[in-house]
């Protein structure tokens, strides 16, 4: 089993580039197709901790149509946002790469080098 996990959307160019970058470094991560298998609310909260973000707003895709449909511009608490991210996984920024207790968003893909070089 790999020490790395990637929350991946194969239709996203940045996600594909990030996966390729990991593989170029000899890393075969566990691939989670998060649109097919959304992370639980607990897993999303854990991702927020590993990403070291102030709020889950920091890893929400605010350009997605569902973001506008749900009118998420109004500040909502993490406790309100996490269930929505679970229900509508398109809201989750991609890709997210996890290694142990750290995670980074692969935008740009080179962000994952900070995990590789630990």
Please give the backbone phi and psi of residue 52, each rounded to the nearest 5 degrees, phi first: 60, 45
Q: How many other β-carbons are positioned within 10 Å of the β-carbon of residue 13?
A: 9
Catalytic site includes residue 66 = no
Task: Dump pLDDT digits (tens) for 71-104.
Answer: 887 768 999 999 999 999 999 999 999 999 999 9
pLDDT at 1: 58
Domain that residue 102 falls in: 4-116
Are 45 and 79 within 8 A, CB to CB? no
Q: How many alpha carbons lie under 13 Å from residue 110 in its C-beta half-sphere?
A: 0
pLDDT at 117: 85
The count of structural domains within the chain is 1
Catalytic residue among 2, 3, 4, 12: 12
Q: What kind and span of H or E run contains 67? A: helix 65-69
| CATH code, domain carrying 15 | 3.40.30.10
Helix axes 41-51 and 78-87, enclosed angle (nearest 10): 120
Whether the per-residue pLDDT at 40 is higher than 80: the answer is yes
């Amino acid at each position: 089993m790999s020490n790395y996990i990637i929350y991946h959307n194969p239709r996203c160019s940045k996600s594909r580039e990030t996966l390729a970058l990991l593989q170029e470094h000899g890393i075969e991560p566990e691939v989670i197709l998060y649109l097919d298998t959304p992370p639980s609310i607990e897993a999303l909260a854990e991702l927020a901790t590993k990403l070291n973000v102030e709020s889950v707003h920091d890893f929400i895709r605010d350009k997605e149509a569902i973001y506008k449909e749900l009118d998420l511009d109004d500040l909502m608490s993490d406790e309100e946002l996490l269930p929505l991210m679970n229900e509508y996984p398109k809201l989750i920024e991609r890709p997210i790469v996890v290694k142990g207790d750290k995670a980074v968003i692969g935008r740009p893909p080179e962000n994952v080098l900070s995990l590789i070089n630990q």
